[in-house]
Structure 1
Amino acid sequence: MEKNVVIYSLPTCPHCKRAKEYLSQKGISYVDYDVGKDKVRAKEMIEKSGQMDTPVILVDDEMVVGFNQSKLNKLLSKK
């Protein structure tokens, strides 16, 4: 089953870049919101995560703050 993956990121964020590369390598499609340009999405990210750090990654309804590969793997492999 396809997961719904959203990443809130900044183009200057090295952890965001690594997270997106990782998802792409695994063949996972995702929606990428540049919170530097999109203030509505930036506000949404802060409301959901309670912080301003990027990346914030949502896998279905579960959140990963930062690039945590093991947590992402666990969420992506959940049935």
Structure 2
Amino acid sequence: MKTVTIYSSPTCHFCHLAKDFFTANNIQFTDHDVATDPNAIKEAVTKSGQMGVPVIDIDGNIVVGFNEPELKRLLEIK
């Protein structure tokens, strides 16, 4: 099973799309809220090199934004 971490904020539409995608595909994930967790902000910026969300880490592969084809590829979803 792949380790999936998402850095998100409650008001981010694409964050909600990504989390809904994971749920619909039975993908377990850890969610870090950058709006309330200063350490999560630092981690997201370090991993992605930018301030935007969502930042998604799949076994060390970073996806910025909700890129469904890339998420499917990394998670091996047909």
TM range (shorter): over 0.9
Query: What is the DSSP-based 3-state SS (H/G/I as helix, E as strand, rest coil) of the residue aligned with 1:57?
Result: strand
**TM-score scaled by structure 2?**
0.96
1:38 corresponds to which residue? 37
Identity of aligned residues (%): 45
Number of aligned residue pairs: 77
1:16 corresponds to which residue? 15
Superposed structure 1 runs of 4+ greater than 2 Å apart: none
Which AA in structure 2 matches 1:59?
Answer: I
Shift of 1:22: 0.4
Distance 1:28 1:48 in 2: 21
Name structure 2 gaps, 5 residues minimum.
none
Name structure 1 gaps, 5 residues minimum.
none
Distance 2:6 2:73 in 1: 17
Which AA in structure 1 matches 2:25?
Answer: K
CA RMSD in angstroms, aligned pairs only: 1.0
Q: Does 1:59 align with 2:78?
A: no
Shift of 1:47: 1.1
2:6 corresponds to which residue? 7
Shift of 1:48: 1.1
Distance 1:77 1:61 in 2: 15
Distance 2:47 2:28 in 1: 21
Query: What is the DSSP-based 3-state SS (H/G/I as helix, E as strand, rest coil) of the residue aligned with 2:27?
Result: coil
Shift of 1:44: 1.0
1:74 corresponds to which residue? 73
Distance 1:8 1:52 in 2: 11
